[in-house]
Structure 1
Amino acid sequence: MNDSELKQLVEKISLQYFHKPFRHNAYFNPRLRTTGGRYLLKSHDIEINKKYYNEFGEKELIGIIKHELCHYHLHLEGKGYQHRDRDFKQLLQHVGAPRYCSSLPASQQKQSAANSPAHLYEYVCSSCGIVYRRKRRVNVNRYVCGKCGGKLILNRRVF
């Protein structure tokens, strides 16, 4: 699928589910990494992550397009177009658009690799004994216990 076919699909979905025309551009953006698509407020264009189409197919792509069209139409109408707004949540439900897109398998592997290392530093409060585990080193001369204000002591370093 190329950009012109994507634009035609967006126009078709807009008429079919929203009964309103889509009058701006829709295209694939290869720089998108963590999101399925995005609606640009200034230009009213819609950018789509092609990796989602390649990984999950047209069904996931249609869901992403519906989600971005919710932002698009609500913004143009002057209604609440942000994720937290009631208008947005109601329109998502009405057209059957997903609130979030699926995670890409490659990004899940990166996340699990990033989360797998154990905490490298363990600090203990000298007053109340609470244990703090951190991945990054803490300056014990500058920071104190958040609970009682006691002095922190480096208990162990794990590598």
Structure 2
Amino acid sequence: MKEIKIETVLQVYDTINELPKDIINLMERAVEARNKAYAPYSKFNVGAALLLNNGEIVSGNNQENASYPSGLCAERTAIYYAGANYPEAAVLKMAISATSINKPTLEPIPPCGACRQAIAEYEIKQNQPIEIYFMGETGKVAMSKSLENLLPFVFDKSAL
């Protein structure tokens, strides 16, 4: 038997104001997207903004549907938009902000499992990590230098 230890390293900022200016701008874009989310069922609004290596910033938000599996999360909305419209561009950084109508979201809220898998696909495709910053409505902001910190043992094309 062999034991494997997995360690995740995140940087945590106490407030958005501690972030570098370019990341504050990216997070503000994520908040703008979050405020336009369509989430009548969960009442959980999420926005994401991506900085591409061509200087473009694209954003997305969650879009729900009465047929729940037909909705799409903010992170996948943004990353698929980037892939469709800027297929040669690499995603450098991603900012995510989430809030709930039902209760305060004061701790960093990371991407869900499906979004982690989608982000992993783009890291692998571009052979370059994506810095991911995530927060709730207010409060602390967590940063991962790569999706690999959030999804060890990633499933990729090598398994197919």
TM bucket, shorter chain: under 0.3
TM-score (norm 1): 0.25
TM-score (norm 2): 0.25
More helix by share: 1
More strand by share: 2
Flag the structure with larger Rg. 1
